[in-house]
Amino acid sequence: MARTHGSRAEITGPLIRDAARRLFARHGFAAVSMRQIAAEVGVQAGTLYSYTADKQALLADLLRSHMEELLAAWQDDPSRPALDRLRAFLRFHIQTSLERPEAVFLSYMELRNLTAENRAQIAALRRRYEDALEAILIAGLAEGTMAMPDTRLATMALIAMLTGVTNWYREGGRLDQDRVVAVYWDLVRGAVGA
Amino acid sequence: MARTHGSRAEITGPLIRDAARRLFARHGFAAVSMRQIAAEVGVQAGTLYSYTADKQALLADLLRSHMEELLAAWQDDPSRPALDRLRAFLRFHIQTSLERPEAVFLSYMELRNLTAENRAQIAALRRRYEDALEAILIAGLAEGTMAMPDTRLATMALIAMLTGVTNWYREGGRLDQDRVVAVYWDLVRGAVGA
DNA sequence: GTCTATATAAAGATAGAC
DNA sequence: GTCTATCTTTATATAGAC
């Protein structure tokens, strides 16, 4: 596994991030050692410190880039009917959650291991993501196509429900992804009073 | 803090469990040392091993007793209308989740740190709890007072949604517990097609 | 039942050679 | 850019005294 003095910076960085994401998600941040990450990549432990200031910064980078990718990928069109937008959000959220279950899991679980500064930064990104959903619910109320007593609570409830898919979904299991989206859409549509 | 040779076994056991629950929930299982737990209780680290075989068994005890208390406390009455039973389940789940947020959090997060045997045991208990909810949904379908495409997915979706309350609820925040139950009841009732 | 002391292993991080 | 070697700290767990 271990190479001797081979240099390939362009790929080592991403490999470190991939290994860290996988290991942190599987065992928990504190349970994973820098040596384990290094072994997974095929470098020595000391090498990791050419790519990250410390272990915590490595986690922070993973969470920040995940949230930024999520925000960049979500394309909303406020001119469309709110129910269509909600349907699109649901599909987007389930799809990305199932594509990157490890990053999703980390983003909801390992905030506590960040410095206060990094934690605040990630929390702000997450808040923007939640606001994207709430905007749709507010539009639905204004249109009269949805009904609910509290858009903020509904936002939190829906995100928790959708993200929960990662807890039980198994590739090749009883239901494929489209079917999951369809079933959840029935539940969500009912929940928002449509 | 540290006493010298004082003996009080009746209370030290529960204190260890309380401290471990709090610390594991706050920092993560792997991030907490036996020394930290001991310091919180006011004993020396070695003393903990009079109460648990090892660190992992301490976690397993916490999760097992939490699930067992939950199952013992939930009183269902299958002769009542399914919607009433669902309402009662919702209130029970939100109430206990907010009363014991640390145990709830651990039960969903730290299964990965158990031995395979302990993990299977806890998973079976959790499954029984999920089945208690699904039984209500199945009854609702049979009654014709609910409608949903998949009772198993609906079960997982509802539990994720309700448990998510612990992620954002703050004592003394914008909403008191009864109000939260009322808002979620609106969402749940819609989701199950009532 | 609890303490003190310790065996043994592994952690995060850094320095300097190649 | 990566490796080797190492400093320093901390961890789990156990043995035996009180």
Q: Same structural domain for residues A47 and A63?
A: no
Cβ of B81 near strand C (under 7 Å)? The reply is: no
More confident residue, A11 or A125: A125
In the predicted model, what is the mean pLDDT of residues B20-34? 97
The CA-based angle A165-B148-B179, given to 5 degrees, is 75
Cβ of A3 near strand C (under 7 Å)? The reply is: no
Locate the chain A residue with the closest alpha carbon to B164.
Answer: A160
Split into its structural domains, chain A has a count of 2
Exposed (0-12), middle (13-18) or buried (19+): which is A149, by Cβ within 10 Å? middle
Query: pLDDT at position B6, please?
Result: 61
Query: pLDDT at position A182, please?
Result: 98
Our CA-based measurement puts residue B188 at a distance from the nearest CA of chain A, in whole angstroms, of: 6
Query: pLDDT at position A10, please?
Result: 75
When CB atoms are compared, the residue of B156, B167, B184 closest to A168 is B156
What gap in Å lies between CA A137 and CA A123, rounded to an integer? 21
pLDDT in tens, B113-139: 999 999 999 999 999 999 999 999 999
Cβ of B2 near strand C (under 7 Å)? The reply is: yes
Q: Same structural domain for residues B34 and B130?
A: no
* Pair of tokens at residue A56: 């915590």
In this complex, which residue's CA is closest to the C1' atom of nucleotide C15?
A46
Tell me the percentage of chain A whose pLDDT exceeds 90.
92
Structure confidence at residue A171 as a pLDDT band (50, 70, 90): confident
pLDDT in tens, A85-97: 999 999 999 999 9
User: Domain residues for A148?
Assistant: 56-192
Tell me the percentage of chain B whose pLDDT exceeds 70.
95
Q: Same structural domain for residues A48 and A138?
A: no
Q: Same structural domain for residues A4 and A36?
A: yes
Q: Same structural domain for residues B99 and B62?
A: yes
Q: Same structural domain for residues B140 and B162?
A: yes
Q: Same structural domain for residues B64 and B25?
A: no
A173 touches chain B (CB under 8 A): no
Residues of A within 8 A of B153 (CB-CB) are: 175, 180, 183-184, 187
pLDDT in tens, A103-144: 999 998 999 999 999 999 999 999 999 999 999 999 999 999
Asked if B154's CB is within 8 angstroms of A187's CB, the reply is yes
Decide: B128 and B71 in contact? Cβ < 8 Å. yes
Cβ of A44 near strand D (under 7 Å)? The reply is: yes
Place of tokens 């507010």: A138
